[in-house]
Structure 1
């Protein structure tokens, strides 16, 4: 069987590339020598490996073009220098003339090397509606109220505000109920405000557009306002749509507390879009969540904007049981009583309970590592985890108590006052 002639320079370069496989310049140099030696398939493999490591490298791109122009050896049989080269000599096709280069088949060339080098840019082919503004995209939430444990009071308020009117168009027309408006969810962190916002969109069969401060805030003058406008344009194009502003106190903070014209302009634009001045908001329902409702611009709670305020409290006992079952569902258990756990986690948020389950699983895992035998997660693991974890809602409730006792009371925090009184805070 014939073999490629041995070239000590090429062999030395192969060893160097094997020890430094990510050195693009070294691969290109090796590929150039292979191409000059007529070993086109091997040169193509080296060029492909170099482009995979650095897709914008000009020398590697030039080498790839030269190898494609010099022959039509099947690239799939070529291997880069980190593997053993094929013993069979590559077939060499006649080189193109200068006149042929103007009709070079780029599509065929891409197909020939696409398994070696991925595309440098990929278009988003999953966008259901190409007419939507590209800056913000809506999504299918995939969550329903049945997935949310407890929170019955919150569900009732949401049902009256938007769900029931949407599901009963005849009654909506009879009573003149509009499919627009907003609702502000507030409460301690980790209690499911974002989760229930997704559930609202799921119940509606509507699209869901989640917006964070980082999606909107821009250092250039006027850019933040344009981003807010783009959010509502995307929502109107996808109506019925639920727009969810997380941490809205950062986006719509009190104008009296800031001297920044940039922030004030952003808040003004948000108020304008909530009013639907630049476009009708029919079918657009705005949900906002915050841990600091006292820092939100009061004008945002005016009728027609975020005109309903709902307190999302730490989960009650049935909800805590549901959260424990959710986070323990796919873990190996033995003798776990979620009812007992729910009674011992009064004041815990959903995030706190998830962390308790994580700590318990960690204890069982470390014991299994030490003993060399996997064991199940039991009540002792969960009770020990409860002894380590403190509810994260306490500091928030202390701040809320001060606001209720010493702040302005216009009835906004009536539910919060009743809860604090009931919990003897």
Structure 2
């Protein structure tokens, strides 16, 4: 049967403006009035797909899918043959399931069955391969020895571990001035262990909704246990586990309590989970976090010594165009510089060479003059931290936690 001229004209208009819901609904109404229910359903479904909340489109869909009780049976057309076999509609209510089956080739279903919670939900916290090892860390021999005793030696000697009853669980707190490689050494530990690595900061955990921060901490440990052996690294742990005596926020206290619960690892659940934490302010970390079985060992990460500074210079200049660089001489001139300070010196030197090349129109390599000039502009950033640390050691409570720091300050005459 040929289309009605009006229907044909409006159909062409719909083809020209497929997003016009009002026009498409009008076409559906004309088709429905003409007894062409399947075509009307198609137009209604297309309108709902464009504007799911449009009342006229939804009303047209309902009317098109529900046969007219006053009308007699229509002669089956080629489009109606498949739907006639579906049987009579339900006596009461509207059968959404049957309706979705009729239009499933046009639009996605509006309702789906809930099969219950996923028994293995995806975690928002992902683990990764560390990619570095101790060989990539310049200097820091004392730190490496402490980490070897805590984690690496027991893992590499399972017989001795069993003999001495040494568990593969535990935590360690790295503290020291900012920019001295605490995160890098944590990655190197994971690389030496052959374990996966997960880095967690306060922004990954903190949530404004009550109880969600605690659930985030639980999710961190659940993901780590599933990926064991795994190193979990909490950066700036003083923000996440700050002293509860210094805050009245129930939000913060809840996070600390949850972290304590997860570190305890009920029923040995943390076997193969190695917890490392880093902070610039260890005196602000809740004392309960440093009790035995938790972050019970502390390692001081100091500004790099001369061999380490030389290695840092070589690492940051390796992929840059340089000539005549004396890394040992630069290391001697950068006493008290952190690794981040040295990286910035290299960046400033590269900028000087780049701007000179732009000005002269001749590209040149980075030389010692650029690095020495950069050293004249950059000052070590560790001074403020060392001053604060000295005050804590001299005038704060001394329970032996900062013995290494006290000895170093004495040797360096600070």
Using the size of structure 2 for normalisation, the TM-score is 0.73
CA deviation after TM superposition for structure 1 residue 279, in Å: 5.8
Query: Which residue is equivalent to 1:154?
Result: 143
CA deviation after TM superposition for structure 1 residue 32, in Å: 2.8
Query: Which residue is equivalent to 1:16?
Result: none
CA deviation after TM superposition for structure 1 residue 405, in Å: 0.6
**Count of residue pairs the alignment pairs up:** 322
Residue 178 in structure 1 maps to residue 167 in structure 2: yes
Alignment of 1:63-102 (within 5 A): 102=103
Pick aligned residue for 1:294 from 260, 270, 283? 283
Runs of 4+ in 1 over 4 A off after TM superposition: 33-36, 96-103, 130-133
Pick aligned residue for 2:234 from 245, 248, 251? 245
Contact 1:133 1:234 in 2 (8 A): no
Query: Which residue is equivalent to 2:354?
Result: 365
Q: Which has the larger radius of gyration?
A: 2
CA 1:98–1:191: 2 relative to 1, 3 Å: farther
Query: Which residue is equivalent to 1:276?
Result: 265
Task: Give, in whole Å, the separation in 2 of the partners of 1:132 and 1:157.
Answer: 37
Pick aligned residue for 1:140 from 129, 135, 145? 129
Query: Which residue is equivalent to 1:201?
Result: 190
Using the size of structure 1 for normalisation, the TM-score is 0.71
Contact 1:179 1:284 in 2 (8 A): yes
Q: CA RMSD in A?
A: 2.6
Alignment of 1:208-223 (within 5 A): 208-223=197-212
CA deviation after TM superposition for structure 1 residue 139, in Å: 1.1
CA deviation after TM superposition for structure 1 residue 97, in Å: 6.4
CA 1:371–1:168: 2 relative to 1, 3 Å: same
CA 1:234–1:99: 2 relative to 1, 3 Å: farther
SS at 1:202's partner residue? helix
Instruction: Name stretches of at least 5 consecutive residues in structure 2 with no aligned partner.
Output: 1-12, 21-45, 52-77, 83-101, 109-118
CA 1:288–1:98: 2 relative to 1, 3 Å: farther
Residue 391 in structure 1 maps to residue 380 in structure 2: yes
Contact 2:357 2:363 in 1 (8 A): yes
Task: Give, in whole Å, the separation in 2 of the partners of 1:372 and 1:98.
Answer: 78
Contact 1:361 1:377 in 2 (8 A): yes
CA deviation after TM superposition for structure 1 residue 227, in Å: 1.0
SS at 1:208's partner residue? strand
